[in-house]
């Protein structure tokens, strides 16, 4: 493994841990209880993100006839819910921040346990990946530790020492954002030849289509006012890079083609999700109270 990949892997660990630590620092127990007091919303979010969107990923990959590497990357993305940037989309212009954050955390926590099984099942049914199977136990250990432990620590700090948690939250969120950009840049630069090969390919289009379909699914399978539905769409559209990157490292030995395709899927997905969220937020702002 070259120096660049080692550096990207190290920054990825920091990104995952910092993201979930920041989520814990920014979450209160009363807010979580308020969202989960009516279980229909979280149940619909789990259905959308753990079942419908992975199947959409399989369908989109098959529809566009993607290569094996791109197929795997799209399925990994579709199978990995709870991307932290999704909660930020729900905060645009008076969005339902509490619900967005709570559902994102729920999806990240549950998804860290279900991701390996879901991705394995889809790839096996699609007969893609050359029979390679993701080590679910190893993946659960890696991702659960990196995600659940930092979140629990952050949540505990918020509950026991709220002033300290609030003062740390901004710095942790900045570390999360900076390291996410660094990871994405590292994947793009470290595999630039494979990335260049993606330009004009169907992989980027497939990533964009999946993001749009996931956004629509999140909104459709949600309850509450338009602001909350739009927030659920944003949470669904942004997938969680942490488990997918761990799987690429564990099961596929950091295959450059898969890493490049996954980076392309993330970029094209964000390029679609951000404008949709912005348009919906402007419509909310233009609606008379």
- Domain positions in the chain are 3-284
Other beta carbons less than 10 A from residue 161's beta carbon: 12
Q: What's the rounded Cα separation, in Å, for the pair 204 and 198? A: 7
Contact 35, 100 (CB under 8 A): no
What is the model's pTM?
0.81
Q: What is the pLDDT of residue 81?
A: 92
Contact 248, 262 (CB under 8 A): yes
Find all residues with CB under 8 Å of 279, minimum gap 6, and list them. Answer: none
Predicted confidence (pLDDT) per residue in 13-54, tens digit: 888 788 778 878 887 888 778 777 888 999 999 999 999 999
Q: What is the pLDDT of residue 191?
A: 62
Q: What's the rounded Cα separation, in Å, for the pair 86 and 236? A: 7
Predicted confidence (pLDDT) per residue in 112-131, tens digit: 888 888 998 999 999 886 66
**3-284, which class in CATH?**
mainly alpha
Q: What is the pLDDT of residue 79?
A: 95
| Cα angle for residues 177, 49, 248 (degrees, 5° grid) | 60
Question: Average pLDDT per run of 10 along the chain, which is 289 residues long?
Answer: 72 81 83 81 95 96 93 95 74 65 83 87 85 70 77 90 91 86 75 67 91 95 87 89 84 86 87 85 60
Q: What is the pLDDT of residue 289?
A: 42
CB environment 72-106: b (16+ within 10 A), e (fewer) = bbbbbbbbbbbbbbbbbbbbbeebbbbbbbbbbbb
Q: Which of 139, 152, 121, 133 is nearest to 57 (CA)?
A: 121
Q: What is the pLDDT of residue 96?
A: 67
CB under 8 Å, gap of 24 or more: what pairs does 176-180 form? 176/15, 176/18, 176/19, 176/22, 176/84, 179/11, 179/12, 179/14, 179/15, 179/18, 180/15, 180/19, 180/84, 180/85, 180/241
Task: Taking each helix axis as running N to C, give the angle between helix 226-237 and helix 97-126, from 0 to 180 degrees, rounded to the nearest 10.
Answer: 40
């Amino acid at each position: 493994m070259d120096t660049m990949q080692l550096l990207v892997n190290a920054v990825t660990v920091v990104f995952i841990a910092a993201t979930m630590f920041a989520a814990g620092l920014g979450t209160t127990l009363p807010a979580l209880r308020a969202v989960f007091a009516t279980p229909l919303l979280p149940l619909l979010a789990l259905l959308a993100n753990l079942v419908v969107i992975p199947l959409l990923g399989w369908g989109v990959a098959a529809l566009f006839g993607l290569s094996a590497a791109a197929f795997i990357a799209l399925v990994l993305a579709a199978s990995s819910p709870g991307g932290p940037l999704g909660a930020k989309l729900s905060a645009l212009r008076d969005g339902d921040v509490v619900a967005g954050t709570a559902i994102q955390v729920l999806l990240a926590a549950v998804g860290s346990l279900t991701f390996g099984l879901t991705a394995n099942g889809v790839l096996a049914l699609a007969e893609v990946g050359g029979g390679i199977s993701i080590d679910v136990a190893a993946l659960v250990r890696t991702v659960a530790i990196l995600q659940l432990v930092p979140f629990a620590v952050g949540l505990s700090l918020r509950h026991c020492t709220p002033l300290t948690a609030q003062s740390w939250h901004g710095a942790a969120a900045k570390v999360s954002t900076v390291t996410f950009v660094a990871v994405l840049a590292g994947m793009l630069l470290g595999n630039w030849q494979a990335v260049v090969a993606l330009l004009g390919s169907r992989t980027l289009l497939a990533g964009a289509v999946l993001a749009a379909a996931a956004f629509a699914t999140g909104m459709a399978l949600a309850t509450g006012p338009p602001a909350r539905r739009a927030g659920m769409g944003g949470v669904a559209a942004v997938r969680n890079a942490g488990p997918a990157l761990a799987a690429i490292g564990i099961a596929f030995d950091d295959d450059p083609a898969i890493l490049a395709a996954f980076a392309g899927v993330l970029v094209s997905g964000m390029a679609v999700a951000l404008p949709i969220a912005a348009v919906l937020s402007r419509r909310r702002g233009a609606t008379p109270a």
